Amino acid sequence: MFLFLSESLDLKHVIRLRSALGDQKFEDLDLVIHSGGGSIHAAYQVVELLRLHAEHVHACVPLYAKSAATLLCLGAEDIVVDELAELGPLDTQIYEEKKGGKMEFTSALNPFKTLEQLRKFSLETLDIAVKMIAMRSHMDLDECLKHAIEFVRGTTGPLFTQLDPEKLGAYSRALAVGTEYGARVLHRSTSWDADKCTDILEKLVHGYPSHDYIIDYHELREMGFNVSLFSESERAAVRSLFGVITTGRTVVHLVLPRRERQQRRAAESEVKTS
């Protein structure tokens, strides 16, 4: 099954995939992915759809399966990648208006990273202020702490007021979507216990410094995924796929092995003659 998307993954691709699969069932299905992501809801639908049509799904990534497309890989029993292949974090992207009225995608994780840095800055400022006041006065520790807290409130307090609580709530719910979908597909595709799944999803959703961060073969291995590199015999086919990828065409296509095509045609002929 080839899923090469030059555009954002959405419902129309799920419908095209459903049409390509028809009523066919498979014991094993290789899903060859090239996608920058898109709707996390559509990605979850793709995983569920493939699960209904195949006993075992194998994710194959020649170049990249980023953002929501990473969820497709989480829903497979194993992941096969090229040396250049990369997956990405699952922090949800929000389409919002920036300064000047320009609309662009931003990570729902951004305000939480800001909050995290403000907390760290406030604690560091408090620590420094207590030490400085103690060195320059004869106050006891409690009195130093009282004045240091007032100093921190006056210097970093205004920064906290610039955070929008309503936005934090909305973005928290958006991040929870990726976490919940991830938990579902990992539960079905791995033998990991709940704690292991939680740790992996915490890292995928909250643990990386940017949405573009590269999760490669070595990182996947360290996290415990069943991942391997394309074999020597498969690399020639992978190289030929690079030509298709660079055209920027959208491809949602099911390709059956020659033997299976012949068997299915023979079975269809028997049905017609009977």
CATH of residue 47's domain is 3.90.226
- Residues 69 and 33 sit within 8 Å (Cβ to Cβ): yes
- Residues 90 and 182 sit within 8 Å (Cβ to Cβ): yes
pLDDT given at position 270: 55
pLDDT given at position 188: 92
pLDDT given at position 117: 74
pLDDT given at position 201: 96
Q: Which domain holds residue 255?
A: 2-88+214-273
pLDDT given at position 180: 95
- Residues 13 and 5 sit within 8 Å (Cβ to Cβ): yes
Assess if residue 240 is contained within a domain. Answer: yes
Q: Report CA-CA distances (Å) from 190 to 10, 21, 77, 134, 197.
A: 26, 24, 7, 56, 9
Assess if residue 78 is contained within a domain. Answer: yes
Assess if residue 107 is contained within a domain. Answer: no
Assess if residue 180 is contained within a domain. Answer: no
Provide φ and ψ at 17, rounded to 5°.
-65, -45
pLDDT given at position 137: 85
Assess if residue 151 is contained within a domain. Answer: no
Assess if residue 75 is contained within a domain. Answer: yes
pLDDT in tens, the chain (274 residues): 899 998 999 999 999 999 999 999 999 999 999 999 999 999 999 999 999 999 999 999 999 999 999 999 999 999 999 999 999 999 887 777 677 777 676 777 777 677 677 788 888 888 988 888 888 887 888 888 888 888 888 888 888 787 777 777 777 888 899 999 999 999 999 999 999 999 999 999 999 988 999 999 999 999 999 999 999 989 988 888 888 888 888 999 999 876 654 455 555 555 555 5
**DSSP states of 106-150:** EETTHHHHHHHHHHHHHHHHHHHHHHHHHHHS---HHHHHHHHHH
Whose CA is closest to 122, among 150, 91, 92, 164? Answer: 150
Assess if residue 109 is contained within a domain. Answer: no
pLDDT given at position 273: 52
pLDDT given at position 68: 94
pLDDT given at position 243: 83
Other beta carbons within 10 Å of 229: 13
Total count of domains within the chain:
1
Assess if residue 69 is contained within a domain. Answer: yes
